[in-house]
Structure 1
């Protein structure tokens, strides 16, 4: 084997089978496969899927450039959903920056269409399946003394299936326990939030959990210890799974990589992309929505002797700086306008954390992600009132050009 696998769980990018019978966001049943034109929310879903894919790869390129040679695993769907949820309460420049940063062109899709699209997306992905466990959950923990705007609460519950929990933020350690217990119960991610600021008044949480079983599972008896070549100089021993079977695969000659799809029971799938030796950066740089769709459309079934390491990885990212580089800036500053949440503009996101884990085994995959946004009051401006005698120095470099004392401004 050369280099390493780049595994993309295509959650929220390629979507799932299109023949689900989905209740529409307006309470009307919609059959996606047969009557898409009768469902405005389905058309909105199609629009946001394209934008979500663009955001996924834009964020990927940014985070890979920061990660160096470290493993990277994140859920673009969790990040997109969390910030779309937050945008319900955003206004003015704060709102436009969030939507643009998420990949939405406001001349092509309205704010309402975005929320309708996420409404449809969540209803579709949260449908119960016999052989695939997939849950996407949104929640908002709020200070019990903070009153949320009624429209925000209504839209949060309707479009994002959000749960609203009052919490005593005057006791940060207790709030941390409450939030961590909630997240661990749904995703098995432990200690998701630490060091909650004493001036925080809300924590917005998104969670994605997937437990899927391969349509063609590996036989654990065939797993053997084998070499994994981290780079040209380093090699490690891994438990290597092995299967000789028919898989959909594609060889991209232009990018010098192989693509193989491993479907799960229940409709989801994973793509594994294996660049040729020394071609990882080349493939990373080319990765994007159009390339992904090219690969998916080019997959053909054939007999493959597949070797895949059994592995577990986790990630923890402070995405604040990454998102700021992508143009989402004001929401993290004192100038943030989140007045749609409480009717008052004095809120900002002080911290944005994204935690994930991925476990790939012979029988399938378990993956989870949580995105947390800590929201606090903006800093009150320091008031300096020069209403008593003061000194004034006018300087240039280290030279004092003028020096004065003002005792009475009414005297010349």
Structure 2
């Protein structure tokens, strides 16, 4: 029996600075939502899916972070993007393949709870923002002669806002790759130029599943352009590299902050108008030992720290940095427990009605740019005399490796995770 491959291409691009893009997500209409959404129940389901995403995020980060090939390298990915693409794939999985994927992704077994949760969470992510752009888009690319079950297409379209397109992978791999790459460029403001290499497509390629998440936002309290200085960043091996260090200058601003004997935790909000609450949470170990910061990422610990953070005036120093990475996640996902999906044991009969499909690759491309730009703070400018402070303001100096997380505080969902080991690399 021949086995045909499913590609799961997870494309994520994020930028942190002032600007805008156009969202292309094809969401269900309001009438569609009235048929599949259910008030209080959908809120509970959304929270469940967000919690599942965060558990998966921690496991994936931990495994990528401790991989011998990347232990001391920068790391950046969107767990929500990987999670979403695999959830779409899961809808076609059956038997032990479905059980493994459900376990790794912490997905609800109940179809209604799972699908309604994703519908509500994706609607949340793709809702328009006043001062930022955040979109999450899904697409299926199907070999034009290959039959996909209507039930799978309808489920993908209704609950995951998936657009399906037919391509000629067999006779025209170059044109097929070009169409996917053009879509990816349009979804990412031309930051990803070549997602698919036509040479990697084969006659066995029958289906490519893609997810794109794009974020472009501005700081609620921008760093002072006049206070960007040449500085040194201390690497974990004892060396130092030059960086451009940003400093905050709005002495009246209070940030959510907490620390213990091992780590400092700081939340930097993005400008969000009145309706959204997106922020970057930085986990800065007090020594070069990153394990203290990694332990904070445990979902229970991270959630509890968010509740315990208090408003403080903080002296912040943060390096400008850019990370551009590409990962093949097949091996790490197999290690986490979903090995059947990548083998001849795979059962994706819910996609095509056969046992011929398996996942050949899960590719994740990511980009982040963190700099000083942003909108003016709504509170205006002002200086609070030091004599009015009851205690000394904390100093948050990120001149050594740290972890950063982009999250939606309303749902609690983790959208992006990164590990900054060397801003000069």
Distance (whole Å) between structure 2 residues aligned to residue 249 and residue 274 of structure 1? 14
Q: Rg larger in 1 or in 2?
A: 1
- 1:101 corresponding residue in structure 2: 104
| CA 306–222 in structure 1, closer or farther in 2 if over 3 Å, else same | same
- 1:136 corresponding residue in structure 2: 136
Q: What pairs with 1:172-211 in structure 2 (closer than 5 Å)? A: 172-187=173-188, 188-194=191-197, 195-211=200-216
2:169–2:205 CA contact under 8 A, matched in 1: yes
- 1:258 corresponding residue in structure 2: 264
Q: What pairs with 1:35-74 in structure 2 (closer than 5 Å)? A: 38-66=39-67, 67-74=70-77
Q: What pairs with 1:266-345 in structure 2 (closer than 5 Å)? A: 266=272, 267-345=277-355
| CA 143–364 in structure 1, closer or farther in 2 if over 3 Å, else same | farther
Deviation, structure 1 residue 83: 0.5
TM-score (norm 1): 0.78
- 2:158 corresponding residue in structure 1: 158
Deviation, structure 1 residue 276: 0.8
Higher relative CO (Cα under 8 Å, sequence separation at least 6) belongs to: 2
Distance (whole Å) between structure 1 residues aligned to residue 301 and residue 317 of structure 2? 24
Deviation, structure 1 residue 23: 6.0
| CA 364–90 in structure 1, closer or farther in 2 if over 3 Å, else same | farther
2:224–2:249 CA contact under 8 A, matched in 1: no
Distance (whole Å) between structure 2 residues aligned to residue 198 and residue 147 of structure 1? 15
Distance (whole Å) between structure 1 residues aligned to residue 39 and residue 370 of structure 2? 39
Q: Deviations over 1:115-170 (max 9, x none)?
A: 21111110111011121201100000000111211111111111100000110111
Distance (whole Å) between structure 1 residues aligned to residue 369 and residue 159 of structure 2? 30
Alignment RMSD (CA, Å) = 2.4
Q: Deviations over 1:327-362 (max 9, x none)?
A: 011111112111111122211111111110100011
Distance (whole Å) between structure 2 residues aligned to residue 304 and residue 286 of structure 1? 20
Distance (whole Å) between structure 1 residues aligned to residue 42 and residue 256 of structure 2? 33
- 2:125 corresponding residue in structure 1: 125
1:337–1:345 CA contact under 8 A, matched in 2: yes
1:249–1:258 CA contact under 8 A, matched in 2: no
For the residue of structure 1 that corresponds to 2:107, the secondary structure is coil
TM-score (norm 2): 0.75
For the residue of structure 1 that corresponds to 2:350, the secondary structure is helix
Deviation, structure 1 residue 28: 6.9
Distance (whole Å) between structure 1 residues aligned to residue 363 and residue 73 of structure 2? 18
Gaps of 5+ in 2: 1-15, 17-28, 376-405, 407-414, 417-425
Are residue 228 (structure 1) and residue 238 (structure 2) matched?
no
Are residue 240 (structure 1) and residue 245 (structure 2) matched?
yes
Distance (whole Å) between structure 1 residues aligned to residue 138 and residue 219 of structure 2? 27
- 2:218 corresponding residue in structure 1: 213
